[in-house]
Each structure stands twice: as structure tokens, then as C-alpha cells.
Amino acid sequence: MSQTKEAFTQFIRDLQDQICRALEDLDGRARFKEDFWERPGGGGGRSRVMEKGQIFEKGGVSTSTVHGKMPEALKKNMNTKGEDFFACGISLVIHPNNPFVPTVHANYRYFEMYNAQGQKIDGWFGGGTDLTPYYLFEEDARHFHQTQKQAADAHGPELYPRFKKKCDEYFWNHHRAEARGIGGTFFDYLKPDEQHSLQDWQNFTQDMGRSFLPGYVPIVERRKDLPYSDQHRYWQELRRGRYVEFNLVHDRGTLFGLKTQGRTESILMSLPPRVRWDYNPQTEAGTEEARLLEVLKNPKSWID
């Protein structure tokens, strides 16, 4: 295994341990169940899922290291001539009980491509973190974005605005003309260029991964004990439906996992346990629900 693959694989496993410990401590009741799985064709992963906690209704934090032949469908989709691939990454989605606590998603990954002779012909980093609130607290949105900006700024002041814009563009439900949430950062195909080596991009990706807990945990602590009604819960489940739609219709990571014979249970761990699709639901003008929708339809900057 190359030095880059080895170092990043160790990083994602350590980050998985740190995040799982922190979320268990925060919840106080639920514990992650761990599964190890093997992928037909090469590699496997370590999936951890918690359910029915005091704070978290469902949470999944998984790592995988997979390799093998590149499926023809993905070769066409990625416009690559590579024959074999290697991919390692960490992916997580946390769904809270309380509708005033946002759902959060993060993914950080490294990918390599090889020719028929087994020589590396390409390699890049990707990832990002985004927040999906059901009720909008601008204080939380600013904190989440500021934490990611601080981590990104250490590697260049141009990176946060660049990847914030990409996040708004990527996590967009085209068939609904609205964002999945209030964004964060999203980046992909980070390859060596005139300003950055592959090591630079590795350092950046790892620092962005480390920013997850300080970006999310304070929000959970602020909102976890707020009282909520059945109506709040109903709205949460409607919005979760939009979350599912994005993951199954648009998400490239889900497509990659399913097309490369990844473990289906681990790939779909991101789906919430309770969700609804009522026919043509409407929101009343002036409500907190309508306020959220306005921001989802018109993404905004959260940092002055």
C-alpha cells in the first residue's frame, strides 16, 4: 500500500473512533453496533450504527477500503480509462430525535486509478460536511459554517468560498428546485496543481474531517432539550423525505457504492428510520417552516 493510501486509511479509522466516542458520550444511552464486511472483488469496511438513543434516533459512521476492477458503467460515468481502482473513506449521517436538532452528513475519501499494468494513473481527495436543519437557527448555521471556514482558511482563504459554493450546487434537489439543507463544504477531484501537492490536499481533507465534531456537537448541546410538538415532528418527517430523495436520486457516493458491489446495508445507513411523503403538503406563509423553505430555495452566505 502506498504511503498516501496507508496514511489516509489510518486517519479515517482514527476519526471514526473519535466521532463514535463523542456521539456516544453526548447521547448518554445509545451505543454503536459494529459490523465488519468484505466486498466481493476486494476490500471491505467497518460499519457502526446507533439507534433509539436519547438524542440520536439513528446514526451511522462507517469506513471502507475497497479495490478491484472498475465497472464499465462507472468508467463511462467518470470518463476514465482506468482499469482498476482503490478507494478509502469515512461516511457518516446522524438523524436526531428532536426536530430542533439538525441532521448532519460528512464524507471524506481518497481515490486512485490504475492502468492495465497496475501503474497509478490518477489520484485525488474529496469530501465535505453539510447541515440539514428542520427549523432554522441562524446562530447554528453561522457556527457550522465558521468552523469549516476556520479549518479551510489554514490552507488558503480562497478554499472555503470555493467549496461552500460547490456544496450549494451539489446538494441540490433538482426535481424540487431546493437545497437539501443549509450547506457547508463540498470538494472532489482534488489533484496536484500549481498551488497544491497531493500531500497538501491530504492535509486539507484531514483538517476538514477534524472540524466535524467542533462544528456539530455545540449545536446539538444547544438544541437537544428544547420541547417540541407532534406538528414539529411531522414537519421533520416530511423534510426527511426530501433527504431520502436526494440520496437515492442524485448522490454520487451512493451510486458508486452500489455500482461497485459495496455492502448495501452500509451504503443505505444514511436513510432515516421514520419518514413520510404526504401528497402535495403546503406550508403557511410567515411560519418557521416557510422560513426554512425560503432559505432552501435561495441559498445564502452565513458568514459576513
48 closest CA partner among 58, 264, 272, 165: 58
Q: Report residue 226 as a C-alpha cell.
A: 428544547
Distance CA 109, CA 123 (A): 11
CA distance 147 to 102: 16
Chain centroid, CA 66 distance in Å: 19
Q: How many helices (H) and strands (E) does the chain have?
A: 10, 9
Q: How is residue 129 written as a grid cell?
A: 460536511
Tell me how far apart the terminal alpha carbons of the chain are, to the nearest angstrom: 44
Check if 232 is active-site.
Answer: no
C-alpha distances in angstroms, 20 versus 11, 32, 188, 254, 285? Answer: 14, 7, 25, 22, 40
Cell of 199: 500531500
Q: How many CB atoms lie within 10 A of CB 81?
A: 12
Q: Which of 105, 143, 145, 155 is catalytic?
A: 105
Angle between helices 3-27 and 198-210 in degrees, nearest 10: 10
How many other C-beta atoms lie within 10 A of the C-beta of residue 92? Answer: 25
What phi and psi, each to the nearest 5 degrees, are found at residue 289?
-65, -45
List residues with catalytic annotation. Answer: 105
